[in-house]
Structure 1
């Protein structure tokens, strides 16, 4: 039992007054002598005993009356909270794409919102966390208006972030009463619950359909004919399915359609052949009703006339021609004597290949080229002028070459985490045939990241990042008389990705709400502002201006899948496609019962928002007792009257 005004209980000390009155109430008896008093003595004893009982009963009723009146004014009640403390709830509502599916009562997110609106308490305040917004200290009426505007979003909020927010709210808002997490708990890990031990109500939104068909990825093969092959991977979660229709569009125009069969819990490849065009805005559409509808369409943008400019200065070598092919690169080779200095600013990657001495004019041109955003790869010859190379290194501020080593060394280690080798290896390889070098150069580079290592753990290939460019240093000549590295399988991904990294060409598609780098291969002024727009939205991304390109970086936008256009005022420079993260399509849901049992912190699990809120409100409902104490005081008063009137000692 709790009291709204516990300070009134101090008045219980007044109960001592009727007790003192009772104890010190003295009566004097007059003794009358009789000749035979045996009968009278017995009568007097009985009268005194009855009188004492009556007085004790009257004292008890008066004490009860006074006690009940004091307790009634202190307003006692039963509840899980204090009556003078306002309820405050922390709500997390998962509005990710996966909650846009049908449950037993309808759309999961819409039903959850409706049940929230119908069961909010006007006496409480709320803080609402969604995947894309946080609303703090809102009344029930304010929260209803917010809930009506909530829609599904591609933005993500992990349970770890939610638990951290709950802990923060507990500290900053000491009146928090209960936290309620409403989610489907898709792709969640049990480990996140280990360090969270707050009493929480979990409401798991459960989809009705347990099967899903989704477009997993798209790739393009060039068959060296007039057509491209579009390879589409379809993921099936559930039973086998037959005669599923699939279609491909160029923007809004239907190009082709077919049907396919897919086995239970498998991935099926579907191939379309499309005619080559300079630009193809592709949309693949599955016509099938399943758990999720957002993953039944997939967008891609295919641009065939975009290539990277690579210039090799120095000795002509055949391995570079084989790597930088005509379908992806504009590759040129030039001797040191026949350099076209006007072509240098137009390149995305320049390779200094087997040059013994760097002319001062070339060093000056390279400095200007690097300062404006071009990348440089340096392959030394067997006998270089270390002084001339160190002039370039010093002006770039990247360190210096120390000396030439004549010891034969093997190349034994690969930095698999380096961006150059991203998506190259399925697993770490340690038993490949080690290439070797006859001679090499040791160097001391500043702020470098090493890509390949010699057996003595010194770097063979390193990357130094400048403010606007990258410099790749190869520590040995790659001529066959000095090294067999050009026969190694590492040579292709190494130099190919150096070229690809120098200009971020348009990918087939990008993922929404993630960091993406997109380069515009045009020379535009520094004051030019580019925008990304679609039919419904437009925003200005982060952009960096280089000599021969502009690099655009997207982070939290766009949030919806579809085609977007990079534009300069009214001119469209590039078309790009965005798709949703494929994790949202997986039917991987966490089982909460075992986790809550292990937590042992009075947490609860439910599948209904309405039942959860009603249960919490019922537990926190205040049951006032002052009326009962008032009734009891009246009863005690009536008892005293009855005793005084009818009890005759």
Structure 2
């Protein structure tokens, strides 16, 4: 038993007063003379004994009366928690796309929301975290209104953010008991987020009743020519084999082609569609199949008229560059240093300084402006480069110090496979290729560089400096290096050109950072917007000399085809799809997780968790019973005084 006002119990010391009064109170008997009282001696003794019993009964009833009153004012109760402490319940409800599926009782998210509403306590204080919003210190009624409107979202919330919210709640308030409940399907992408310092919480797993799913994983184009091209849709199957599944491709909601396919258990398969060549194709591929998730049965993509990147090489004519930067993909120009068209420099996306002995001041200034406006630059030294001239240029760009020539035979042995330059170039790491060599080099000292390819002594051969500036530390002349004969030459320089301009992809992912280059110029106060029939938003945009780079991340959150608009003019179309990770049917084993993490408690269901919490927080007040006991004690004393005649 606990007390809300335990200080009242000190008044029990005052009970000594009625005890003393009763102990020292003397009963005086009135003497009445009789002629013969010998036969009354026994009656007199019995009367005195009865009076003494009555006195003790009255004392007991009064002590009981005062004790009951004191206990009633101290407000006793039975509970597992201290009444002075408030109870705060933190709820994380995973409303990601993967919870938009059917469980045993119905839609996982909707049923979870209903069970929280039904099981929560009227007197409780709650904080609700969803994948999109955080609601702090709300009542049950407010919690109900929010849960009734909660919808699935493509936004995935990192669990580290959830744990940070829990820690903040625990630190910001004193004299408060906390309970944290995480309600999710716990896809296996969460596993690395749990550690021994993870805050304590109860985990409730939302489970789908279906264990099979088909999804369109990706789409790519192949065998493009003047008449047609092939659209390849990669289909991923999780679960049992499936036969005669319909799949169709649309162009701007118009059916183009339809077929059916069969796929084996837990495998992937590529379905091909041959499409007549056209400048713009607003594509949608759709599978007709009832499975765990519906959102991944549709895939959007867009094919826009491809614009060529402009590449300018300054220096002596280099055949390898003209072979890499072909006419069908690039606008390539080679110019000697004497014949440079300085008016054309701002219109380029990539400029290659190919084996210049020195860099004139007028060219250095033009290249500085070009780089400052977002242009990409590749610097290849000459075997006889003038160190002072290059250093003056490097100082202007603030990319480091050009050092003296080193004559040494070094093999090119290491590749940074994680660099964007080699994205999708290698299917696996290559360790046995024929290493090219150089016989001399001009190293640079730079604090902010990212090595792309390095020598056997770990010094950089090609590295990326700031602002998309790439430096090749050795001349590529055949008398100095055989790198031109290496298979690396093509992907390296080809991707220099590709990365210099962010060409629109077939599709992008929602809730991810995407950079899209738009070849246009904006007037004063003009902006680009992205819109479809339902939504529109203004993306982050960076203006350069001849193009705009827009960045999307927080928006859009819905899959579909969108237009990039300059006022009312459509510059190009872009497609967005939901994250493919949401299609996974791989989930965490919470029992194993709880064994490895002492702070994790597994709960069987939402009602069971809240009922246990409510029962734990339930307070059984006893003051009414003690007040009733006081009244009974008072009545008992009255009855004793009135009817007990000694």
TM-score by length of 2: 0.92
* Correspondence for 2:571: 573
* Correspondence for 1:624: 621
Q: Counterparts in 2 of 1:155-304, with a 5 A limit?
A: 155-174=155-174, 175-196=176-197, 198-224=199-225, 226-304=227-305
Q: Counterparts in 2 of 1:273-352, with a 5 A limit?
A: 273-352=274-353
Q: Counterparts in 2 of 1:381-420, with a 5 A limit?
A: 381-420=382-421
- Aligned pair in 2 of structure 1 residues 196, 432: CA closer, same or farther (>3 Å)? same
**1:489 Cα deviation (Å)?**
2.6
1:545 to 543, 546, 551: 543
The C-alpha deviation readout for 1:46-96, integer Å capped at 9, x for no partner, is 877776555444433322221112212322222234446554322211111
Q: Secondary structure in 2 aligned to 1:169?
A: helix
Q: Secondary structure in 2 aligned to 1:547?
A: coil
* Correspondence for 1:128: 128
CA RMSD of aligned residues (A): 3.0
- Aligned pair in 2 of structure 1 residues 190, 391: CA closer, same or farther (>3 Å)? closer
- Aligned pair in 2 of structure 1 residues 598, 381: CA closer, same or farther (>3 Å)? closer
Q: Secondary structure in 2 aligned to 1:357?
A: coil
The C-alpha deviation readout for 1:5-44, integer Å capped at 9, x for no partner, is 3333232222111222233234579999xxxx99999999
**1:541 Cα deviation (Å)?**
1.2
Q: For the residues of structure 1 that align with 2:622 and 2:48, how far apart are their CA atoms?
A: 40
Q: Counterparts in 2 of 1:585-624, with a 5 A limit?
A: 585-596=583-594, 603-607=601-605, 609-624=606-621
Q: Counterparts in 2 of 1:470-485, with a 5 A limit?
A: 470-485=468-483
Contact 1:446–1:464 (CA under 8 A) maintained in structure 2: no
Q: For the residues of structure 1 that align with 2:292 and 2:404, how far apart are their CA atoms?
A: 65
Q: For the residues of structure 2 that align with 1:551 and 1:85, how far apart are their CA atoms?
A: 54
How many residues are matched?
A: 644
Contact 1:526–1:545 (CA under 8 A) maintained in structure 2: no
* Correspondence for 1:5: 5
- Aligned pair in 2 of structure 1 residues 378, 197: CA closer, same or farther (>3 Å)? closer
Q: For the residues of structure 1 that align with 2:193 and 2:472, how far apart are their CA atoms?
A: 44
Q: In structure 1, list runs of 5 or more residues that go unmatched.
A: none
The C-alpha deviation readout for 1:390-433, integer Å capped at 9, x for no partner, is 33223222233221122211122223333323343455444433
The C-alpha deviation readout for 1:107-150, integer Å capped at 9, x for no partner, is 11112222333344332332211111111122222332222222
Q: Secondary structure in 1 aligned to 2:443?
A: strand
* Correspondence for 1:110: 110
Q: For the residues of structure 2 that align with 1:557 and 1:301, how far apart are their CA atoms?
A: 18
Contact 1:86–1:123 (CA under 8 A) maintained in structure 2: no
Q: Secondary structure in 2 aligned to 1:453?
A: strand
Q: In structure 2, list runs of 5 or more residues that go unmatched.
A: none
Contact 2:203–2:600 (CA under 8 A) maintained in structure 1: no
Contact 1:90–1:176 (CA under 8 A) maintained in structure 2: no
Contact 2:250–2:283 (CA under 8 A) maintained in structure 1: yes
Mapped pair 1:502 → 2:500: yes
Q: For the residues of structure 2 that align with 1:602 and 1:551, how far apart are their CA atoms?
A: 45
- Aligned pair in 2 of structure 1 residues 425, 10: CA closer, same or farther (>3 Å)? farther
Contact 2:85–2:177 (CA under 8 A) maintained in structure 1: no
Q: For the residues of structure 1 that align with 2:489 and 2:472, how far apart are their CA atoms?
A: 12
1:556 to 529, 554, 557: 554
* Correspondence for 1:94: 94
Q: Counterparts in 2 of 1:331-480, with a 5 A limit?
A: 331-466=332-467, 470-480=468-478
Q: For the residues of structure 2 that align with 1:420 and 1:399, how far apart are their CA atoms?
A: 22
The farther-off stretch of 391-400 and 131-140 is: 391-400
Q: For the residues of structure 2 that align with 1:428 and 1:50, how far apart are their CA atoms?
A: 107
Q: For the residues of structure 2 that align with 1:288 and 1:517, how far apart are their CA atoms?
A: 33
Q: For the residues of structure 1 that align with 2:350 and 2:314, how far apart are their CA atoms?
A: 11
Q: For the residues of structure 1 that align with 2:20 and 2:596, how far apart are their CA atoms?
A: 58
The farther-off stretch of 569-578 and 473-482 is: 473-482
Contact 2:188–2:588 (CA under 8 A) maintained in structure 1: yes
The farther-off stretch of 227-236 and 197-206 is: 197-206
Q: For the residues of structure 2 that align with 1:624 and 1:416, how far apart are their CA atoms?
A: 69
**1:523 Cα deviation (Å)?**
3.5
Q: Secondary structure in 2 aligned to 1:411?
A: strand
Contact 1:519–1:551 (CA under 8 A) maintained in structure 2: yes
The C-alpha deviation readout for 1:470-507, integer Å capped at 9, x for no partner, is 22111111122211112223222221221111100001
Q: For the residues of structure 1 that align with 2:107 and 2:536, how far apart are their CA atoms?
A: 29
Contact 2:414–2:456 (CA under 8 A) maintained in structure 1: yes
Q: For the residues of structure 2 that align with 1:503 and 1:164, how far apart are their CA atoms?
A: 38
- Aligned pair in 2 of structure 1 residues 374, 643: CA closer, same or farther (>3 Å)? same
